[in-house]
Amino acid sequence: MVNEKEAWTLFNERSYEFQIMNEFQRAKIILKILNKTYPKISVPLKSRNIFTLLISVLLSAQCTDVNVNNVTKSIYPKYYKPLHFKRLGRKKIEKLIEKIGIFRIKAKSIYNLSKLLIEKHDSKVPKTFEELEKLPGVGHKTASVVMSQGFGYPAFPVDTHIHRLAQRWGLTNGKNVTQTEIDLKRLFPIKNWNKLHLQIIYYGREYCKARDCFGITCKICTTCYPNRKKPIKTNKA
């Protein structure tokens, strides 16, 4: 229970923060810091073509990019087309990816989407959100990554990390990842989206970690909220 004195202090802190900087001003500062910190950015997931990029993004759910890359580095030299995975079958795919979390579910998705790509898309990865999100195991975030990193289409994939950071940085109310994506697209120029989502991920891993900073120690947090004293709690995706 917050007493009157604490409530008044909290009100003053938040009012002060609002007065000195609005969300568009914060977005501008954040973009400047990220561009200076990561002038050049690389795609963390290794792939051989757009199809293997799709597979890697699918595998990365509830799994680190490092783990995915360690597993796929021995797969992609030999298997890199939908036909390859269709011929392998579910059980052999499971064996190849068994070191990755929920590998049986992912193996089923990989097998089924490979069949679907062969049957309905001439073995090619579709270039629209609508068609991508109809593929087994492919949600909006996965489709956004493929559209962005595979086809260069402006997109803003929002994962749990970006969802957390956007709340810490005062860019969204944190209602859900859908709202966070809408807010980030509203605040940042479309030309920055593809690079920016990767910059945010890298910054979150290095400086504004999930179990560190808590909105009060990294450069972005202290610049955007110089008067903030208490750790910020964020809503999960």
Of 29, 32, 80, nearest to 54 by C-alpha is 80
Closest CA to 37 of 190, 195, 150, 187: 195
Flag whether 7 is in a domain. no
Contacts of 1 (CB under 8 A, 6+ apart): none
Q: Does the residue 170 lie in any domain?
A: yes
Asked if 36 and 54 sit in the same domain, the reply is no
Q: How confident is the model at residue 59 (pLDDT cuts 50, 70, 90)?
A: very high
What residues act catalytically?
A: 141, 159
* 123 in any annotated domain: yes
Q: How far is C-alpha 20 from the geometric centre of its chain's CA atoms?
A: 29
What is the pTM assigned to this prediction?
0.87
* pLDDT, tens only, 153-178: 999 999 989 999 999 999 999 889 99
Please tell me whether residues 114 and 206 are part of one structural domain: no
Whether residues 38 and 85 fall in one domain: no
Percent above pLDDT 90 for the chain = 85
**Is residue 82 within a helix (H) or strand (E), and if so which, with residue range?**
helix 82-96
Q: In CATH, what number is assigned to the domain containing residue 70?
A: 1.10.340.30
Does 14 map to a domain? no
- Tens of pLDDT, residue by residue over 85-129, are 999 999 999 999 999 999 999 999 999 999 999 999 999 999 999
State the Cα–Cα distance between residues 221 and 218, nearest whole angstrom.
5
Amino acid at 152: G
Q: Quick one: 128 and 99 in the same domain?
A: yes
DSSP string covering 12-76:
HHHHHHHHH--HHHHHHHHHHHHHHH-SS---SS--SSHHHHHHHHHHTTTS-HHHHHHHHTTTT
- Does residue 111 fall inside a structural domain? yes
| Exposure string for 144-171, b = 16+ CB within 10 A, e = fewer | bbbbbbbeeeebbbbbebbbbbbbbbbb
Examine residue 235 and state whether it is found in any structural domain, yes or no.
Answer: no
Distances (CA, A) of 125 to 48, 82, 228: 13, 9, 46
Q: Please indicate, yes or no, whether residues 99 and 122 belong to a single structural domain of this protein.
A: yes
Range of the domain at 84: 50-150
